[in-house]
Structure 1
């Protein structure tokens, strides 16, 4: 089955999720060889009114970053008028905020955040299950074959952007399940994201809230025991622990990024 078919036909695997028609989260690895376009995503209300679908809030865990690489994260304009003026004049260096990054950094990107992933940065992205994106700027690039620039969505970008920008205040919380170190990066309206670090120890987890978990192994190797079966884990694996699994045990030396829908 596809994930959508499983979501529809076996809702007990996902905590009997209710009326949601589709799986609510997407996780993906983005490997930016060059600077990606500067974008902003609408919130649910704007997206439903103008696009007929959900908006998009997302987050990034930095898997790797070349020396000197950066993200575009927010902007410097203090009013909608200043924002629009800087955009119309193409004063991007004056408008956009560049933030240097390194592996292990985490960024929460709520709807309304002007953002872009810079070249040389690889991220694990967790997001609302939506493709709604408005392109504000594409570095004045033209398609080599057609000579045309990609479409920009200036009006919608101006309408959706948070002005002035205020970076979300996140507090990392650290706990232990057995010997497994668990770091909570964000617990938002849409999702929660964690890093589980297991170093030759054993971590015993109890799924008290009957959540289902999206899991990406980002380093090392080990095993997960789900009670009736043990699975080998290694870097690059992605899987879902259904809500019907009440407990599991981790062993080995590895790191995983996990998320759950809220």
Structure 2
């Protein structure tokens, strides 16, 4: 199993290619094992997917830092790939809270993670720019000391603030504050994505499957994107499959959904072969 420093180097190198790579978002150890076996080169956690698996809504109040990092630790342990984590707003408004979250993320073996500028407060959903920059700077300093790839997120478009100029201004400021990767989820179209990529000097992450139109890896690479994530959309796809299967049983009393399901033997081969040592 490669050590964390090697994983950081591998993750960083993926962002230097001329073509975008896809980093899928498992929500637990089992989905991480499946995605690793599929041949992806890195993984990223999803707070939304994890929240849904725990029967919680995706919100700032729904998951604690301890829960998010425990989930991330299980994903890290399930794969030899570099793992980046959705660290939400850093679990506190103060810059030092963001820095401490980065240090704790390193402790569980994560190679990277993101800090966003959303507050979780619907009356003031985005941190004022100077504080948002201070938060990224503190997180960046902690990341640089520990060896960690920091992604800074500008959340305007997820909070009904479709201001491309302000989004770009924030990403540029986050880059200057030390972020390694820049990310503005919810950009409306390829023109906006292209404008962001042209305006910044760090690799850009774009999420697909979140909302609006989707674009291919080729199209996003041509626009300048270097990393593509899927957020909670893989988890939602899995829940969609569960819902369709249950609807078939409830509405028709049939079980044809099982024809498209992965076999138990195939899944078993992907999962840990370790045995419990506390059996009586």
**TM-score of the pair, normalised by structure 2:** 0.27
Q: Which has the higher helix share?
A: 2
Q: Which has the higher strand share?
A: 1
Q: Which has the larger radius of gyration?
A: 1
**TM-score of the pair, normalised by structure 1:** 0.28
